[in-house]
Structure 1
Amino acid sequence: MSGAECESDMDCSGSDCGDAGYEDYYSTQPWDGEIDNDINFDKQKQDPEYAVYECLRVDEVERLLNENVEFLTTNLQITPSLAKLFLHAHEWDLQDILLKYQDNTSNIMIDSKIILSHSVDPLFNMKFLKGNLCSVCFLTFPTERFSTLNCGHSFCNDCWCAYFETQILQGVSTGIRCMANSCSILAPEDFVLSLLIKPIMRERYQQFVFRDYVKSHPQLRFCPGPNCQIVIRSKELRSKRVICSICKTVFCFRCGMDYHAPTDCDTIKKWLTKCADDSETANYISAHTKDCPKCHICIEKNGGCNHMQCYNCKHDFCWMCLGDWKTHGSEYYECSRYKENPNIAHESVHAQAREALKKYLHYYERWENHSKSLKLEEQTLEEIKLRIQKKVMNASGTWIDWQHLFEAASLLARCRYTLQYTYPYAYYMEAGPRKELFEYQQAQLEAEIENLSWKIERAETTDRGDLENQMDIAEKRRITLLKDFLEV
């Protein structure tokens, strides 16, 4: 199933595009930017993940940046290179730059590292320039072979060029400073380009400068997809899901990482760092197989659903806690919740360390389990497609008659993805009533997801009305949790 592809010159809402792995998770419907405000408000109110953004090509971004440069150039009567220094230093806030420039021109030029707050030592250049001697290479050149920044430091053009090439090869562009020791003045773009000789270095410099400008702009973010040139623009720097219209990469606009609601950006960074450090321990302790709690035969999980049925004794149990599934509905809260040791503060350092590892493994195992379930359910979806294709070929209904199964699989993936990211959120939450409410909603969502997963895996024998009812319940649980705990 593939969604409708957005053109890159259109505005796209957060639920409007899909990627290779997500195009079945979220509906796709391009938005042309002329949406009615009332409709926009209603959609935002209903969907806590909704975001308004644009997918821009490089030439569109350049035009946007150049408009800002031209605005400052015209209003402040300065060169485009100086305007770019102002914009880069002040995160492209035009009004803030105008106010500061009108209030105190010297201060904003000092803050933007265009001029120094103090005079240059007159002996610095006098010692060398009397004989037209460059203080870097100690060679003599005619006066016209020297160039000077606003700080007053002067060097020969060959040394400037070699210095700039070295900086560019190291990936520095807008941050190139004066060669003089301890001088913080930045080299403007026109100054650098006037001294670079090799076309390849000029091109590389301009590419790096463009990337720096985009990174410094609060409304712009490069798509993290491999070799993708699309830039996402959003007027609000928030932790919202955005989807590239070209490569279909889904990511968080605020931090540029994989979308991670309801966990905030700082928390997910801490969690992923911890997982990278401790995952080997977790993998060692958490095996891929478990014994049936009734007949003790070894079982390997081959589907996304955590409702397991032993192929030997037909016992139904939970993969995570091994509890009897018949009574699991009432105990699901206990399955997903970590029970803190109330006396741990009085235990030894070693006991506290073991308890900390136990707590981490509890959340990590569930985080990793849902990640694996997502992959296994992708296989289930492919199997469903093959079965439906056979049914259609045998005149047992049409593709439209079986479309609800694809919608169910897409919803399941969306719900399980959200559920996966509830575990880092819960791991770092402080104990208290709010965490209890979160874990209750988390458990309710998990229960409905497993019910939906069980029914999808048995799609051919599941009543359509029952399946669609379960879809509705699961999505409502997900939306409720996000509305209550999504921090943007």
Structure 2
Amino acid sequence: MSDYYDSGNESSNEEDDLEDDSGVLLALEPEPNQSSLADGLNYDDDYPHKVLSTEDVMKHMNESIKEVNTVVQLPQTITRILLNHFNWDKEKLYERYYDGDQSKLFQDAHIVNPNHLNSFVKTIHNGLEFCIICCSELPSNLMTGIACGHRFCCDCWVHYLTTKIMEEGQGQRIFCAAHGCDILVDDQTVFNLINEPKVRNRYQHLITNSFVECNRLLRWCPKPECSHVIRVEHVDFKPVKCVCSTVFCFLCGDNWHEPIKCDLLKKWKKKCDDDSETSNWIAANTKECPKCQVTIEKDGGCNHMICKNQSCRADFCWVCLGPWEPHGSSWYSCNRYDEHEAKAARDAQEKSRSALQRYLFYCNRYMNHMQSLKFEHKLYDNMRCKMDEMQSNNMTWIEVQFLKKGVDILCQCRETLMYTYVFAYYLIKNNQSIIFEDNQKDLEGATEKLSEYLEREITKDNMSVIKQKVQDKYRYCESRRRALLSHVMEGYEKEIWEYQS
């Protein structure tokens, strides 16, 4: 037996006492109200991480560019494009840069080799250049181009870049405006041409977002209204906490889902989202017409079925799916059909029905805890009222914090229990799975009791009793939660868990 197994039994007296008491290269202005959090190092489960603001991310990106630039000695705009080409993996960039085929490297990255810049030819007539986009002859000072040598008027460039940035959402891969040219427009050109703050900020945000998405050590906070980024030292299946209090899994970016790993959660969500269970229900509750194969659901007691398909109208028996005509004879019985065919049909139907019932068993409990978790969050509002009431009865602010602690642990337990049912759904039965289910049962019972205590009315007479009971119960809940999680983690380390396909 595992060291983490515990029967979970508590003193019965405890339960009875209350039963009767009812900028990539050109830094832009930082966003308003966004303070630097670069020094905010957090340690959760020995997993250090930093919370970065958008401004911090820009600084980190520029630092990475400068670090690489000291090695490759290239213009910063070219270095940024190269880093993006290698998903900001500096080691891969160094390896390719020094493998002796730099021309191929720059070609693959859609950059003009800075060591072999083409000397572009300008068509000048009386000090004028021709823009092939707007078909205008303009003074040379109103024309500009990039390293590939293609030059257009500034107005055409601005319109082209603005469209790419604002309408198409492109930042990292804006190619030259010349037809068929695959050279990327560099950041310096964009910032030199674009003066509108809205477009400049949008471009900066696109580059910053790409930097975060490509960098395996960075991840956006999943909360929609939050614009912070988490930075870690190494990627792992661990929880990280943002300044907005959102706790999520750094490995997959979803809400923290211990004890299940990311692959099982992804598999579960796909199962819940697709129509596989609808198909299971159809297989478990319907049959096909033996003549036209249309799906039929029985809605009455009579076994005489008439297909509703106008081109079919077959008469058959719901039980044996044979023709109905001989069923009226005294000598005929439905048990006359072929036993092999009957057994195969029964087995298929039972297998489908059993799979559906098993899925619904775990899904209902998963959804129940998810729904309860939403309701428990309302307890925070009730808790504040209770805390105010208790303080008015000569209790200090510190003394009433047990209520907040209780609700915090209650929500943690609900969340853990919710994911334990996903884990149990895929788990193949063995001795360790029985221990897991016992731990799950203990935690579930304690969690429900804690929820009951927290919802009780508080009076001056029962205040001290409720405080003691809530504290005892949330400590017990937390110990049971840790025991369950420790047992699962032990199973991961020893590779004792086996899963159903």
Q: TM-score range by the shorter chain?
A: 0.5 to 0.7
In 1: Cα distance, 2:202 partner to 2:368 partner: 44
Match of 2:79 among 83, 100, 107: 83
In 1: Cα distance, 2:138 partner to 2:365 partner: 70
Q: Does 1:113 align with 2:120?
A: no
Q: Deviations over 1:229-278 (max 9, x none)?
A: 32211122233211112x22222223322222233334434433443456
Which residue does the alignment assign to 2:287? none
Which residue does the alignment assign to 1:412? 410
Which residue does the alignment assign to 2:369? 370
In 1: Cα distance, 2:155 partner to 2:391 partner: 74
Is contact 1:72–1:78 with CA below 8 Å preserved after alignment? no
Q: Deviations over 1:172-193 (max 9, x none)?
A: 1112123344543321111222
Q: Does 1:249 align with 2:256?
A: no
Which residue does the alignment assign to 1:448? 442
Which residue does the alignment assign to 1:38? none
Is contact 2:96–2:105 with CA below 8 Å preserved after alignment? yes
Report the 3-state secondary structure (helix = DSSP H, G, I; strand = E; otherwise coil) of the residue aligned with 1:211.
helix
Deviation at 1:208, TM superposition (A): 2.2
Q: How many residues align?
A: 379
Is contact 2:52–2:231 with CA below 8 Å preserved after alignment? yes
Superposed, 1:85-100 pairs within 5 Å as 85-100=81-96
In 1: Cα distance, 2:42 partner to 2:398 partner: 27
Which residue does the alignment assign to 1:262? 259
Which residue does the alignment assign to 2:39? 10
Q: What is the one-letter code of the residue matched to 1:13?
A: N
Call closer, same or farther: CA 1:278–1:400 in 2, change over 3 Å: farther
In 2: Cα distance, 1:193 partner to 1:388 partner: 55
Call closer, same or farther: CA 1:147–1:418 in 2, change over 3 Å: same
Q: Does 1:54 align with 2:63?
A: no
Q: What is the one-letter code of the residue matched to 1:362?
A: F
Superposed, 1:85-164 pairs within 5 Å as 85-104=81-100, 105-115=102-112, 133-141=130-138, 145-164=142-161
Deviation at 1:85, TM superposition (A): 0.7
Is contact 2:213–2:219 with CA below 8 Å preserved after alignment? yes
Which residue does the alignment assign to 1:303? none
Q: Deviations over 1:133-178 (max 9, x none)?
A: 5444444445565544444555444333222111101211112123
Deviation at 1:65, TM superposition (A): 1.6
Is contact 2:37–2:56 with CA below 8 Å preserved after alignment? no
Call closer, same or farther: CA 1:109–1:437 in 2, change over 3 Å: farther
In 1: Cα distance, 2:431 partner to 2:112 partner: 56
Q: Deviations over 1:2-46 (max 9, x none)?
A: xxxx9934334353xxxxxxxxxxxxxxxxxxxxxxxxxxxxxxx
Call closer, same or farther: CA 1:387–1:139 in 2, change over 3 Å: closer
Deviation at 1:445, TM superposition (A): 3.2
Deviation at 1:53, TM superposition (A): 0.2
In 2: Cα distance, 1:351 partner to 1:163 partner: 63
In 2: Cα distance, 1:364 partner to 1:419 partner: 12
Larger CA Rg, structure 1 vs 2: 2
Report the 3-state secondary structure (helix = DSSP H, G, I; strand = E; otherwise coil) of the residue aligned with 1:103.
coil
Report the 3-state secondary structure (helix = DSSP H, G, I; strand = E; otherwise coil) of the residue aligned with 2:230.
strand
Call closer, same or farther: CA 1:360–1:12 in 2, change over 3 Å: farther
In 1: Cα distance, 2:382 partner to 2:139 partner: 78
Q: What is the TM-score normalised by the length of structure 1?
A: 0.64
Call closer, same or farther: CA 1:274–1:137 in 2, change over 3 Å: farther
Q: What is the TM-score normalised by the length of structure 2?
A: 0.63
In 1: Cα distance, 2:434 partner to 2:224 partner: 39
Deviation at 1:479, TM superposition (A): 2.9
Which residue does the alignment assign to 1:214? 212
Is contact 1:243–1:250 with CA below 8 Å preserved after alignment? yes
Is contact 1:412–1:449 with CA below 8 Å preserved after alignment? no
Q: What is the one-letter code of the residue matched to 1:102?
A: Y
